[in-house]
Amino acid sequence: EDKVVQSPLSLVVHEGDTVTLNCSYEVTNFRSLLWYKQEKKAPTFLFMLTSSGIEKKSGRLSSILDKKELFSILNITATQTGDSAVYLCAVKGLYSGAGSYQLTFGKGTKLSVIP
C-alpha cells in the first residue's frame, strides 16, 4: 500500500523564520511528487518534482527530491503570516491493475506564522 508521511504535523514560527517541511514516501512505480498549499478550500499547486537533486524554486519557496532516500523537503525562507496554511505532499504512483496513476496524500503539515 502506498504511503506518504509528512513531518512535523504542525509548526509554529515567527515571521522571518525559515522552515523546512519533510515528506517521505513508499510508492509503487513512482512518477512524481507534488507539494500543495491548502488555506481554506482547495489545494493550490506549488511544485512537481520528478528528478532527484534538482531544486525547484518559486520566490521564497523551494523544494528538492531525493529518489534514493525516498523523501522531499519544502523550504520557506523569510516566512510571512500569509504563509500560514496546511502544506500537503502527494506522490503519484502506478495504480496496479487499472493502468492509471493514483495520487496519495500525506496528512499535511500545519504551518502557523505569527507576527
Partner 1 sequence: DTEVTQTPKHLVMGMTNKKSLKCEQHMGHRAMYWYKQKAKKPPELMFVYSYEKLSINESVPSRFSPECPNSSLLNLHLHALQPEDSALYLCASSQVDQGAYEQYFGPGTRLTVT
Residues that bind partner 1 (CB under 8 A): 31-32, 34, 36, 41-45, 48, 50, 88, 90, 92, 95, 98-108
Cβ neighbors of 40 (< 8 A, separation 6 or more) are none
CB of 12 to partner 1, least distance (A): 16
CB of 41 to partner 1, least distance (A): 5
Total H helices, total E strands in the chain:
0, 11
Rounded to 5 degrees, φ, ψ at 81 are -60, -30
CA distance linking residue 36 with residue 41, whole number of Å? 12
Collapsed DSSP state (helix, strand, coil) of residue 113 = strand
- Closer Cβ to partner 1, 57 or 78, answer by number: 57
- Closer Cβ to partner 1, 16 or 45, answer by number: 45
CB of 94 to partner 1, least distance (A): 9
- Closer Cβ to partner 1, 42 or 115, answer by number: 42
CB of 52 to partner 1, least distance (A): 13
In the block, residue with C-alpha cell 520528478: 50
